[in-house]
């Protein structure tokens, strides 16, 4: 019978890992359980960060925060909002997409390197991570990095753990950079463009000196599921502008004028802008209670629409695009078609595809993560051996 362990201190977590290592017993690392991919070995005990909760230090003037790994993401965002600050990389909230109860944790956000619409201008989650504390596979407590930007001792170690999804270490505490909230925001909407036309429009917008902080294409098949269907008719190419009110006004007018060459243009005010980009961030059109296979695909921005067009010739799919077309949320009607998806990604210059959701039977038979090449796999194995020599953290499940 498996057990769930919820240590309330770093030392208690270390003792649990030491015992597991001595017994060569696998452990599944987990936080809020909102991004679990169903990869857990049935005989493995669970090591949860739920007992490691709370903000340790927050210095708004220095724009840094330290929090225990099990602190809910919502609590972090609420504390930052009180000081008009934010996580610049917009981590998505995935519970609705996966039909899960619970709440994402800040440790899980960094363990999964979870990044939203602002990623292409603000960087990924790991780019905001300054330091962390973790328990390695030997049961040793390790501290890497620091609480201020200039203290970057062990930064490479920090970045190795970020995105490792609990396969290298049990993260207990994270220190990260935050940024001021924009005073206001607006979204320029260009209606009726094909995916190829939208790719060109987004490229033009990002080449302009107007500081676009969000660029997404919402085809007609999903447009009605954003903002409760209140977007203008036709496919919607959406471009976000943020900052001081006077600056936003000027930049929106410049962008509006440029986008008029592509199609009909409208502008969403701040409140609708905030709501829309939360929906883009969380892939809300696919949070429909179904388990239809859903891929999160990262490719070159110019290749996203080509991938979707090619797949439509062979499979029933639905899709929308973020990151100027470089992030494709790709929903299949029945089978994940992993071989087909990855074959076309390779043909279009490469990228990464992660199976975010599927029925349990399909998850068990489908490679969830992008297969590694021989050289990368060998390097990964060497890193794994250093962090977790006995191999108790054997399940690449998310810590979130």
Q: What one-character-per-residue DSSP string does 236-268 give?
A: EEEEEEEE-HHHHHHHHHHHHHHHTTTSEEEEE
Q: What is the pLDDT of residues 324-343, one digit of tens each?
A: 999 999 999 999 999 999 99
Residues 157 and 230 in one domain: no
Let me know if residue 294 belongs to a domain: yes
What CATH number did the domain enclosing 242 receive?
3.30.70.2190
Higher per-residue confidence, 273 vs 94: 273
| pLDDT (0 to 100) of residue 41 | 57
| pLDDT (0 to 100) of residue 301 | 97
Residues 174 and 208 in one domain: no
Mean pLDDT of 204-225: 97
Residues 320 and 293 in one domain: yes
Band (35; pLDDT cuts 50, 70, 90): low
Domain span holding position 305: 287-374
Band (252; pLDDT cuts 50, 70, 90): very high
Whether the per-residue pLDDT at 156 is higher than 90: the answer is no
What average pLDDT does the structure give for the chain? Answer: 91
Whether the per-residue pLDDT at 397 is higher than 80: the answer is no
Let me know if residue 389 belongs to a domain: no
Q: What is the pLDDT of residues 99-117, one digit of tens each?
A: 877 788 999 999 999 999 9
Residues 215 and 329 in one domain: no
Of the three residues 231, 260, 281, the one that is the final residue of a domain is: 281
Q: What is the pLDDT of residues 69-89, one digit of tens each?
A: 999 999 999 999 999 999 999
- Rounded distance, CA 233 to CA 247, Å? 29
Whether the per-residue pLDDT at 360 is higher than 90: the answer is no
| pLDDT (0 to 100) of residue 398 | 38
Of the three residues 254, 281, 308, the one that is the final residue of a domain is: 281
Of the three residues 118, 148, 180, the one that is the final residue of a domain is: 180
Band (11; pLDDT cuts 50, 70, 90): very high
Do the beta carbons of residue 329 and residue 265 sit within 8 Å?
A: no
| pLDDT (0 to 100) of residue 303 | 97
In this prediction the pTM is 0.92
Residues 150 and 223 in one domain: no
Residues 193 and 225 in one domain: yes
Beta-carbon contacts of residue 63 (< 8 Å; ≥ 6 apart): 85, 177, 178, 179, 180
| pLDDT (0 to 100) of residue 277 | 98
Let me know if residue 9 belongs to a domain: no
Residues 315 and 267 in one domain: no
**Residue 272 vs residues 37, 62, 86, 230, 276: alpha-carbon distances, Å:** 32, 31, 18, 10, 6
Whether the per-residue pLDDT at 134 is higher than 60: the answer is yes
Residues 196 and 314 in one domain: no
Let me know if residue 321 belongs to a domain: yes
Q: What is the pLDDT of residues 39-69, one digit of tens each?
A: 555 578 899 999 999 999 999 999 999 999 9
What CATH number did the domain enclosing 317 receive?
3.30.70.100
| pLDDT (0 to 100) of residue 1 | 66
| pLDDT (0 to 100) of residue 149 | 41
Whether the per-residue pLDDT at 269 is higher than 70: the answer is yes
Whether the per-residue pLDDT at 135 is higher than 70: the answer is yes
Residues 327 and 241 in one domain: no
**DSSP label of 232:** P
Whether the per-residue pLDDT at 362 is higher than 80: the answer is yes
Beta-carbon contacts of residue 377 (< 8 Å; ≥ 6 apart): none
Band (400; pLDDT cuts 50, 70, 90): very low
Let me know if residue 75 belongs to a domain: yes
Let me know if residue 379 belongs to a domain: no
What CATH number did the domain enclosing 147 receive?
3.30.465.10
- Among the listed ranges 129-133, 202-206, 256-260, which one has the minimum average pLDDT value? 129-133
| pLDDT (0 to 100) of residue 399 | 36
Q: How many domains does the chain have?
A: 3
Please spell the DSSP secondary structure of 352-364, one letter per residue.
EEEEEE--HHHHH
Give, for 331, the enclosing helix (H) or strand (E): strand 327-332
Q: What is the pLDDT of residues 369-388, one digit of tens each?
A: 888 889 989 988 999 999 99
Residues 267 and 333 in one domain: no
| pLDDT (0 to 100) of residue 42 | 59
Grouping H, G, I as helix, E, B as strand and the rest as coil, residue 218 is strand
Let me know if residue 213 belongs to a domain: yes
Residues 57 and 143 in one domain: yes
Let me know if residue 36 belongs to a domain: no
Residues 121 and 211 in one domain: no
Mean pLDDT of 175-197: 98
């Amino acid at each position: 019978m498996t057990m769930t362990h919820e240590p309330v201190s770093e030392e208690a977590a270390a003792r649990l890992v030491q015992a597991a290592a001595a017994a060569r017993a696998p452990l599944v690392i987990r936080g809020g359980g909102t991004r679990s991919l169903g990869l857990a070995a049935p005989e493995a005990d669970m090591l949860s960060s739920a007992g490691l909760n709370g903000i340790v230090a927050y210095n708004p003037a220095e724009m840094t925060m330290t929090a225990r790994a099990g602190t809910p993401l919502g609590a972090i965002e609420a504390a930052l909002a009180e000081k008009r600050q934010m996580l610049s990389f917009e981590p998505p909230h995935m519970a609705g997409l996966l039909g899960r109860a619970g709440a994402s944790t800040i440790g899980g956000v960094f363990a999964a390197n979870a990044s939203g619409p602002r990623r292409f201008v603000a960087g990924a989650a790991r780019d905001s991570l300054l330091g962390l504390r973790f328990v390695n596979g030997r049961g040793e407590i390790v501290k890497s990095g620091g609480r201020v930007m200039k203290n970057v001792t062990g930064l490479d170690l920090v970045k190795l753990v970020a995105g490792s999804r609990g396969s290298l270490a049990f993260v207990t505490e994270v220190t990260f950079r935050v940024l001021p909230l924009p005073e206001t925001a607006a979204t320029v909407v260009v209606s009726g463009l094909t995916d190829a036309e939208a790719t060109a429009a987004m490229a033009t917008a990002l080449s302009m000196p107007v500081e676009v902080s969000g660029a997404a294409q919402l085809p007609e098949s999903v447009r009605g599921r954003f903002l409760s269907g209140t977007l203008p008719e036709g496919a919607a190419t959406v471009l976000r502008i943020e900052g001081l009110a006077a600056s936003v006004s000027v930049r929106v007018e410049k962008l509006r004028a440029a986008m008029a060459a592509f199609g009909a243009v409208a502008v969403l005010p701040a409140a609708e802008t905030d709501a829309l980009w939360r929906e883009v961030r969380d892939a809300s059109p696919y949070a429909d209670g179904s388990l239809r296979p859903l891929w999160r695909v990262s490719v070159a921005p110019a290749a996203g629409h080509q991938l979707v067009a090619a797949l439509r010739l062979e499979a029933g799919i639905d899709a929308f695009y973020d990151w100027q077309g470089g992030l494709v949320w790709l929903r299949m009607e029945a089978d994940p078609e992993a071989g087909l998806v990855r074959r076309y990604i390779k043909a279009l210059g490469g990228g990464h595809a992660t199976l975010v959701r599927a029925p349990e039977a399909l998850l068990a038979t489908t490679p969830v993560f992008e297969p590694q090449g021989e050289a990368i796999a060998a390097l990964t194995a060497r890193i794994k051996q250093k962090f977790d020599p006995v191999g108790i953290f054997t399940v690449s499940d998310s810590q979130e």
